[in-house]
């Protein structure tokens, strides 16, 4: 399992797409935080915070994480190495978990450079240190939970096909719908007392809650349940190859 974990990490960094994906993620966030004259611009806001990062990053994640996960199973299926992998002394769950933790580690790698934004704002605020660090760390926890959920969804999408582009598109659709789709349905006010329940089925409300710096047990249970659900779906999809 550890060998497979490191193999996936090495494969990602041996591929130019890996560097491009993380580079694009950092460039886009930097432009919105420091260059574009929008509400997310730190210099124009006049406040020592990086809330713009946490409002923009989820939408960039919608493309970054599918780009990371699209090849994890799709490439194995297309090349036929998935059959070889399934004969290894690893359970289907171990294969799924190894790939999941490898992809999630890559997401962490992509987030680490953004700490420079927080350090910069912290040091150059007036006075220095005039920043709500509790809210900032809470928002980072929210981003990690969001990334963990998107990775699980992306792996499931990758297990459905041998085409990386199809995997990429399906993953974007699923992540996008689960992130803001339920929120959109909630705003329509079509289901009366069920509206709030429908809203809570989506990621947006839980991510927003954690990003305020308040880590509620209900939000943690939601993210863990969502991750486990899609990992189990991926495991079942792998097992289905043995039924044929």
Q: How many CB atoms lie within 10 A of CB 16?
A: 8
Structural domain range at position 82: 2-243
Beta strands in 71-229 (DSSP E): none
Which of 54, 55, 219 lies closest to 136, judged by CA?
54
Do 60 and 29 contact (CB within 8 A), yes or no? Answer: yes
Angle in degrees, CA 158, 218, 148, rounded to 5:
25
Mean pLDDT, residues 34-52: 70
Q: What is the pTM of this model?
A: 0.90
Mean pLDDT, residues 51-62: 86
Distance from C-alpha of 23 to C-alpha of 17, rounded to nearest angstrom:
10
Which of 116, 107, 204, 86 lies closest to 151, judged by CA?
107
Tokens of 42: 């730190």
pLDDT in tens, 180-221: 998 888 888 777 778 888 888 999 989 988 887 777 889 999
What does the pLDDT read at residue 4? Answer: 83
Q: What is the enclosing helix (H) or strand (E) of 225?
A: helix 217-243
Distance from C-alpha of 126 to C-alpha of 43, rounded to nearest angstrom:
12
Distance from C-alpha of 225 to C-alpha of 175, rounded to nearest angstrom:
15
What does the pLDDT read at residue 222? Answer: 94
pLDDT at 100 over 90: yes
Mean pLDDT, residues 91-110: 91
Q: For residue 48, name the pLDDT band (cuts at 50, 70, 90).
A: low
φ, ψ of residue 91 in degrees (nearest 5) = -75, 160
What does the pLDDT read at residue 108? Answer: 92
φ, ψ of residue 202 in degrees (nearest 5) = -90, 165
Distance from C-alpha of 244 to C-alpha of 235, rounded to nearest angstrom:
15
Q: How many domains does the chain have?
A: 1
**Average model confidence (pLDDT) across the chain:** 84
The SS3 call for residue 28 is: helix
Buried b (16+ CB within 10 A) or exposed e, 143-165: bbbbbbbbbbbbbbbbbbbbbbe
pLDDT at 60 over 80: yes
Mean pLDDT, residues 41-61: 76
In which residue are the tokens 């190894």 written?
98
Find how far residue 59's CA is from the centre of its chain: 10
Q: For residue 98, name the pLDDT band (cuts at 50, 70, 90).
A: very high
Distance from C-alpha of 154 to C-alpha of 99, rounded to nearest angstrom:
11
Distance from C-alpha of 145 to C-alpha of 80, rounded to nearest angstrom:
32
φ, ψ of residue 87 in degrees (nearest 5) = -90, -10
Tokens of 179: 């992130």
φ, ψ of residue 233 in degrees (nearest 5) = -60, -40
């Amino acid at each position: 399992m550890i060998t497979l974990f490191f193999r996936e990490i090495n494969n990602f960094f041996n591929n130019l797409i890996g560097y491009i994906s993380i580079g694009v993620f950092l460039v886009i966030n930097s432009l919105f935080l420091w260059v574009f004259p929008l509400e997310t611009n730190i210099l124009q806001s006049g406040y020592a915070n990086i809330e713009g990062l946490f409002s923009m990053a989820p939408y960039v994640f919608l493309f970054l994480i599918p780009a990371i996960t699209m090849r994890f199973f799709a490439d194995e299926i297309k090349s036929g190495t998935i059959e070889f992998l399934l004969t290894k002394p690893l359970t289907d769950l171990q294969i799924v978990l190894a790939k999941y933790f490898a992809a999630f580690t890559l997401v962490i790698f992509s987030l680490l450079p953004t700490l420079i934004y927080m350090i910069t704002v912290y040091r150059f605020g007036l006075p220095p240190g005039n920043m709500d660090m509790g809210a900032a760390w809470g928002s980072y926890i929210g981003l990690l939970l969001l990334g963990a959920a998107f990775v699980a969804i992306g792996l499931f999408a990758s297990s459905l096909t041998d085409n990386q582009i199809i995997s990429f598109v399906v993953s974007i659709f699923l992540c996008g719908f689960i992130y803001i789709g339920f929120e959109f349905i909630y705003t329509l006010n079509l289901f009366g007392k069920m509206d709030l329940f429908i809203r809570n089925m989506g990621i947006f409300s839980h991510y927003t809650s954690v990003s305020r710096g308040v880590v509620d047990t209900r939000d943690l249970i939601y993210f863990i349940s969502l991750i486990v659900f899609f990992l189990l779906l991926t495991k079942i999809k792998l097992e289905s190859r043995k039924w044929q």
